[in-house]
Amino acid sequence: MDTTVDLDTFSSLVERPDESARRAADERWQALDRPRGGLGQLEELGSWLASVQGHSPVRPLSAPKVLLFAGDHGVASLGVSELPADGGTAGRVRAVLDGTAPVAVLARRFGARVRVVDVAVDADPDDFPEEVTRYRVRRGSGRIDVEDALSAEEAARAFRAGMAVADEEADAGTDLVVLGDLGVGSTTVAAVLVGALCGTDAAAVTGRGSGIDDRVWMVKCATVRDSLRRARPVLGDQLALLAATGGADFAAITGFLLQAAVRRLPVVLDGVVSASCALVAQRIAFRAPEWWRAGQSTGEPAQAKAYDRLTLVPLQEQKITMGEGVGALMSLPLLQAAADTLAEETAVLPGLPDAPAVPRVQPKLPSAADLLGRV
């Protein structure tokens, strides 16, 4: 079976957001009878939204979606997390689907829908609805300090699954994705990817994750160190890196981020997991980060290093470390306020031409099926 994915294609397909729409939004802000810069961060965010929408005046955010990729990791068996390795991820998925998890509660409050994509949860697939498990690649991922997380074929399948999800959301009219993850042991994996891509040692990228103590941190740091030794030989091949020291959820998130940029779908990143995948995706398409915003700072050292490389500044300093997209979701009201303020206050301003509207879904934008037909 052919397990290749033409990653080079993304570099040419990912375009920059619409600069003319950004300039038009800036001109509208300046034309208001307000102190220049008086709305602070709302002005910059409103102009960014205009650019990713390709439209000025900016449209209010009417269909935001919280998207959670779920997967288990073999390194969790080493006790690198305060969360239980056996059934911990499955339990969190159930809480989200039941509507009792914090992300579900906040999403209802902020008017966002929630979608869970199970790509590697170590549970019987019959435990969850079919729409949750239909992109399942395997049950859990390998213990990356001693073995590959995935085979090459599994990494390609997960990457393609993420691309397909991006197409589904773009075609459904989702206008902003809050991207999160569900997985015990995932911050250990993220630290390895960031450490490998930034050329740092284990201690510089190993954080406290789920709230671990010094003893567990030392175990986690040693695990990251051993995994970095396995990651460095494959740094030149991003898909091989994800197979060796990533996981199915990491491969899927990376594929999602790249295809979302192709489809001009803006994304808010959550914690260190989405930040590490964004760093991998940047290696593939250097313009892709312009379609993303960093929702919050968790305090994880690997996240800070990733955002520094991506030149992304967190919108908030919430230091929410639980994952599930909760921290990024807390930035949604800020983005909604930016869109609403610019849309309503600048709706009618004489003498200022509107930027040409760009349809949400353009026929020329290639879907995952179009791209995969080339490999």
Q: How far apart are CA 207 and CA 202, in angstroms?
A: 10
* 3-class DSSP string for 304-332: HHHHHHHCCCCCECCCCCCCCCHHHHCCH
Instruction: Give 10-residue mean pLDDT values along the chain (375 residues).
Output: 72 93 86 74 92 90 97 93 85 95 96 97 93 96 96 96 97 96 94 96 89 89 96 95 97 98 97 96 96 94 96 91 91 94 64 49 59 52
Q: How far apart are CA 353 and CA 185, in angstroms?
A: 51
Neighbouring-strand partners of residue 69: 117, 181
Q: How far apart are CA 250 and CA 158, in angstroms?
A: 8
Do 195 and 309 contact (CB within 8 A), yes or no? Answer: no
Chain-centre distance for alpha carbon 64: 14
Do 132 and 118 contact (CB within 8 A), yes or no? Answer: yes
Dihedral of the alpha carbons of 115, 6, 205, 308, in degrees to the nearest 10: -90
pLDDT at 371: 63
DSSP string spanning 161-215? Answer: HHHHHHHHHHHHT--EEEEEEE-TTHHHHHHHHHHHHHT--HHHH---TTT--HH
pLDDT at 245: 97
pLDDT at 341: 85
**Residue 259 φ/ψ, nearest 5 degrees:** -70, -35
Tell how strand 267-269 and strand 176-182 pair up.
parallel
Q: Give pLDDT tens digits for 2-43.
A: 456 789 899 899 999 999 999 988 888 787 767 767 788 898
Do 335 and 45 contact (CB within 8 A), yes or no? Answer: yes
- Residue 324 appears among annotated catalytic residues: yes
- The catalytically annotated residue of 44, 154, 324, 345 is 324
CA angle 220, 314, 166 (to 5 degrees): 85
Closest CA to 75 of 157, 139, 147, 158: 147
Q: What sign does the CA torsion over 336, 337, 339, 344 have? A: positive
Give the containing element (helix H, strand E) for 120: strand 113-120
- Kindly list the strands in the beta sheet with 64-71, ordered across the sheet, starting from the edge strand earlier in the chain: 113-120, 64-71, 176-182, 267-269, 292-294
pLDDT at 320: 87
pLDDT at 354: 52
Q: For residue 102, which amino acid is it?
A: P
